[in-house]
Amino acid sequence: MNIIKSNRIIMKLIFWLKSLSRRISPRTEINIFGLKRDGANDCIRLVYVINLTRQKKRWEQFAKEARIQKISGKRNLFDFCERVAAVDGSAIKTDDVISSDIDKTYNLKEQFYVDPDPRLIHIVNNNIVISMTPEEIAVAQSHLKAWNKMVNENISYALILEDDVFFENNFAEQANLVWQELPQQREDGYRFDILYLSYREVDRGAEKNIHSINLFRPVRGLWWLSGYVLSYGGAIKLLNALPIRGPVDLWINHQFNKLDVFATSISIISQRLDWKSDNKYSILPVLSQVGIQSDKSLLLLERKVGSKPIFAISSDDAERASLQIALSLLGYRCCNLVSDEFFEDTARLIDNAQPLPFDAYIDVAGIVSRYKQLEVQYPEAVFILTARNLNAVDNTVEAISDMSAKIAERRKHHGAFLNYFSNRPEKLLIINGSNVEGWDRLCNFLGCDVPDVAFPNMDPFPKMDKLNINVSGQVPIKVADCDLLEHDVHPWIMPAAKLSNFGQTEITRYGTRTGSFTRCYSDNFEYINAAYWKILENTFPSNLARFQSENLSLLDEGGIRMILRKQKSGNRDYTSASIASNAKYRYGRFEVELKPAKAEGVLTAFFLHRNDPWQEIDLEFLGKDTSRILVNVYYNPGEEGTNYNYGNRGTPVLINLGFDAADNFHRYAIEWESDEIRWFVDDELVHVRGTWEPTPIPDLPMQFHINTWPSRSEDLAGRLNSQQLPINSDIRSFVLSAWMSPNLSCNDHYDYSNNMSVHIDSPKSGA
């Protein structure tokens, strides 16, 4: 479960240098393989290689890698290899997993035992249960298949490998040496249970005991289970220790005290650094909430990306939306912006062969039509057409080429485009963008592994004209001064340095439109409406408190009070309060009248939030300085249920209010629409973000939350002083509004997706 932290470019350079060094170095024969040696059973009989059936190219690459290693007797390592068909994580139904083999959940304590990161000390005893990802289950089942196969075939010693291994330059020499340094046979006839040849120590180093010059005995702290020698006796012990609980490389650390385990003093088998991986780690969401591994999450995303830049055209809105999300899931930063200013800036970059801010451009008018120039200026560029049929492709090129209003000239351009790339399938892909074939053909074309999520079949992205905006001109607007805080770094965040308007007080936006925000629901909190709100009784890793219903009370004059107390509750030393809507919303105006808590270490917030994928829009008060608000947006791509929850900091900025919010009640609002998010204070616009400023706009239904809680992050909120407790925040009212074109009302329907307003999942009575 180790997650490499290095930069991908550096990793590829290191891999290239290692490969070069190995090619020019003298070869040593390995003498520890054979059916029998001197009549003894003291040799490695077979090599089991775990490989997905659909990843034939990886098997071919592994074969080349194995044939480099020469075995005494004029043989090579591949002569001893047997393929073990890996379990495919994309096909796993977790409900069908045999519980006697795999326990699908594990505890944070089990992670902490292997990797005792001090940043987890405060939450390690909170009984945080983590569910394995399908990928982790598949890896565990694949190793289990190898162990069973070894026992069934009565193999004394087997080398078990995953197919992405790379044999280090000293592999043969070190393998021969360590075999000599291993203990003599035990009473059961075996010299050891497990011998690690490939591993990575936890960040603070593994706990170990030195056995010899080239061997140590690990106590705990080894990640990877990608290259190890297993004895028959060791396989029996592992099978008797089932079920595997958690990721298999984590679980096996918990078995070290029951096994005879050795590891080479340095890892002599590594993992290839030039291959991409779609592994997903169940621990990441927990770690990210306490500020750990954001850089490692980034690497996982970087490793997905294949060829770029990409220039794509599509036949309709649905295909365009599906392709954009598909490329986003692969880690591409995708653009479908069409403003004149954007085109001019991009054209200038292209003319000068400058690096482009986006990895993929989809239906960007005037860009794809320059395909000849693009190929010259960007030799690595590839092109994609999404179309259900060639007529649709024809219509698409007519629509985006911008060559002429005349159909004949457009078709001429279309023909020229296809002819230009004819017989060059490596440069042009024609794909049905809304068909299940999408992943296989798309990933093969780009050089990416197929992800374990379904190819997105998205509704068309909203068009600006559906908001009834007058797009003929733009008007200047002013917003409040703000300070940019450190942002996450991943494909769905544009670096602020590349944005001319982000953080500026004077910007331009589209002009007026017809319609208005219409109130759909309001609550003065004379009582807690259980049909609308639920009172939360839970916590999360970065929260020092546990939410409890008794910390929520009604105010005599109307409204609710959220109280933060110094009070023991389970593994928390504090308790506080939080409410969340039963309903989920897609777009709308969310206004809260409140007075936040003023105390170091305390946050008062209202926000929209969802997981799988993680998307969020925040307005928060930092108790250490209630004269400012923090606004933030988190974005991950995908459809409902897509397990993309990357991020830690988001994209926060601090905004000066010009008054102390803790002195009195004020009205604060978030307006969330398909093309823009706006934040208001007492009806005055203070901050606005459009698409890619610096993220795409969250586009999936989210729950609405209001809470007060003490943060574990002192850098963010300050150090909590329990002498200041109890302390409270007061919420006077909540108003939900939907943007309505003329002649519409909230009662017309619940799904307002056609006019790009609020999408409301109606709460069930008594929920």
The per-residue pLDDT for 756 is 32
| Per-residue model confidence as pLDDT tens digits over 501-517 | 666 666 555 544 556 78
CATH number of 280's domain = 3.90.550.10
Q: Is the peptide bond before 613 cis (omega within 30 degrees of 0)?
A: yes
Give the max Cα distance, the chain: 92
Alpha carbon distance 535, 546 (integer Å)? 12
Asked if 702 contacts 608 with a C-beta cutoff of 8 angstroms, the reply is yes
Place of tokens 């690595």: 380
Q: Which member of 162, 201, 620, 671 is catalytic? A: 620
Do 265 and 330 sit in the same domain of this protein? no
Active site residue 398: no
pTM recorded for the entire structure: 0.64
Do 362 and 222 sit in the same domain of this protein? no
Angle, CA 96 vertex, CA 91 and CA 99 arms, to 5°: 125
Asked if 535 contacts 573 with a C-beta cutoff of 8 angstroms, the reply is no
Asked if 165 contacts 271 with a C-beta cutoff of 8 angstroms, the reply is yes
617, two tokens: 């829009």
Do 255 and 355 sit in the same domain of this protein? no
Q: What residues are paired with 107 via a beta bridge?
A: 129
Residue 295 belongs to some domain of the structure = no
Asked if 522 contacts 733 with a C-beta cutoff of 8 angstroms, the reply is yes
Do 126 and 193 sit in the same domain of this protein? yes
Alpha carbon distance 380, 376 (integer Å)? 9
Do 409 and 491 sit in the same domain of this protein? no
Do 218 and 92 sit in the same domain of this protein? yes
458, two tokens: 């998205």
Alpha carbon distance 439, 306 (integer Å)? 13
Residue 700 belongs to some domain of the structure = yes
Do 260 and 368 sit in the same domain of this protein? no
Contacts with 557 (C-beta within 8 Å, 6 or more apart), sequence order:
none
Burial status of residue 263 (CB atoms within 10 A of its CB: 0-12, 13-18, 19 or more)? buried
Do 177 and 51 sit in the same domain of this protein? yes
CATH number of 567's domain = 2.60.120.200
Asked if 626 contacts 598 with a C-beta cutoff of 8 angstroms, the reply is yes
Burial status of residue 752 (CB atoms within 10 A of its CB: 0-12, 13-18, 19 or more)? buried
The per-residue pLDDT for 451 is 78
Contacts with 474 (C-beta within 8 Å, 6 or more apart), sequence order:
508, 509, 510, 511
Residue 370 belongs to some domain of the structure = yes
Active site residue 620: yes
Q: Is the peptide bond before 476 cis (omega within 30 degrees of 0)?
A: no
Do 380 and 493 sit in the same domain of this protein? no
Alpha carbon distance 312, 325 (integer Å)? 13
234, two tokens: 């060791």
Asked if 311 contacts 16 with a C-beta cutoff of 8 angstroms, the reply is no
Do 401 and 533 sit in the same domain of this protein? no
CA–CA distances in Å: residue 177 to residues 47, 158, 269: 19, 18, 15
Query: Residue type for 340, please?
Result: D
The per-residue pLDDT for 167 is 92
Residue 473 belongs to some domain of the structure = no
Q: Of 137, 138, 143, which is closest to residue 158 (Cα–Cα)?
A: 143
Q: Is the peptide bond before 726 cis (omega within 30 degrees of 0)?
A: yes
Residue 396: CB atoms within 10 A of its CB come to 22
Does residue 325 sit in helix, strand or coil?
helix
Do 676 and 558 sit in the same domain of this protein? yes
Do 341 and 196 sit in the same domain of this protein? no
Q: Of 488, 500, 484, which is closest to residue 635 (Cα–Cα)?
A: 488
- Conformation bin of residue 366: beta by default, left when phi > 0, alpha when psi is -120 to 50: left
Q: Which member of 319, 616, 639, 676 is catalytic? A: 616
Buried/exposed code over 473-499 (b: 16+ C-beta within 10 A; e: otherwise): eeeeeebbebeeeebbebbbbbeeeeb
CATH number of 315's domain = 3.40.50
Residue 102 belongs to some domain of the structure = yes
Residue 429 belongs to some domain of the structure = yes
| Per-residue model confidence as pLDDT tens digits over 339-355 | 555 667 778 888 888 88
Alpha carbon distance 540, 329 (integer Å)? 26
436, two tokens: 């299940």
CA–CA distances in Å: residue 420 to residues 8, 347, 398: 33, 21, 16
Q: Domain range for residue 60? A: 8-290
Does residue 71 sit in helix, strand or coil?
strand
Asked if 559 contacts 633 with a C-beta cutoff of 8 angstroms, the reply is no
Q: How many domains does the chain have?
A: 3
Q: Of 210, 376, 411, 329, which is closest to residue 613 (Cα–Cα)?
A: 329
The per-residue pLDDT for 748 is 43
189, two tokens: 């006839």
Residue 364 belongs to some domain of the structure = yes
Residue 521 belongs to some domain of the structure = yes
Write out residues in the chain with pLDDT < 70, as ranges. 1-26, 35-41, 118-119, 121-122, 273-280, 285-305, 315-316, 337-343, 365-366, 368, 387-414, 432-438, 459-480, 497-515, 740-767
Query: Residue type for 257, please?
Result: N
